[in-house]
Amino acid sequence: MTEIYVDADACPVKEEVVRVAERHGITVHIVSNSGMRPTGHPLVRQVVVPSGPDVADDWIAERAGEGDIVVTGDIPLASRALEKGAAALGHDGRPFTQDSIGMALAMRDLMRELRETGESKGGGPSFSKEDRSRFLRALEDAVQKEKRRAGT
C-alpha cells in the first residue's frame, strides 16, 4: 500500500500532503530532525531523527520503496527514492523522473559551484500560490497513478 514520506524540514506543503492523504486514507511519515508541532492526525506518523547531515534523508531512503511517494526539495534524496521505485515530487509540484533527475543533479552541482565562486548569490523565487496549487494537483495525480498501478 502506498505511503507518503515527507522530508519535512523547510517543507512548505505539509498541510497539503495531509489533506490529500486524508482523502485517500494514506499513511504519511513527516520526517525531520527538529521537533514539529504534533498534528494528532491518525494517518500522520511524525518521525524526529537525530541532527546531522542527511539523517532524515537516510531514514526516508531506507524505507520508501515501490509504490510510495517521497515529497522533498532535496535532489539527491529524490534520486535515491527513484532508484528504489518510489515516486518523487518537489515542493512546487514538479515530479522528479528517471529522465529528469540527471539534469537536476547537474544543475544543483552547477549552482553550488556558482555560489561558492561568488557568481551567484543563490536563492530562487519565493514559494507562490501557483506552486501550492501545482503541488496539490501533482500529489493527487501521483496518488491516483499508484492506486491504478496497484489495482485499487
Which residue intervals of 1-152 are DSSP H helices? Answer: 14-24, 55-63, 75-83, 101-116, 129-150
* pLDDT of amino acid 92: 86
CATH number at 3-98+128-150: 3.40.50
Nearest to 7, CA basis, from 42, 40, 36, 41: 36
User: For the chain, what are the domain ranges?
Assistant: 3-98+128-150
* pLDDT of amino acid 110: 58
Rounded CA separation 138/38 (Å): 25
Whole-prediction pTM value? 0.84
* pLDDT of amino acid 87: 95
* pLDDT of amino acid 111: 59
Say how many CA atoms lie within 13 Å of 98 toward its Cβ.
5
Q: pLDDT averaged over consecutive 10-residue blocks of the chain (152 residues)?
A: 92 94 96 77 92 92 96 91 94 83 59 66 74 94 91 76
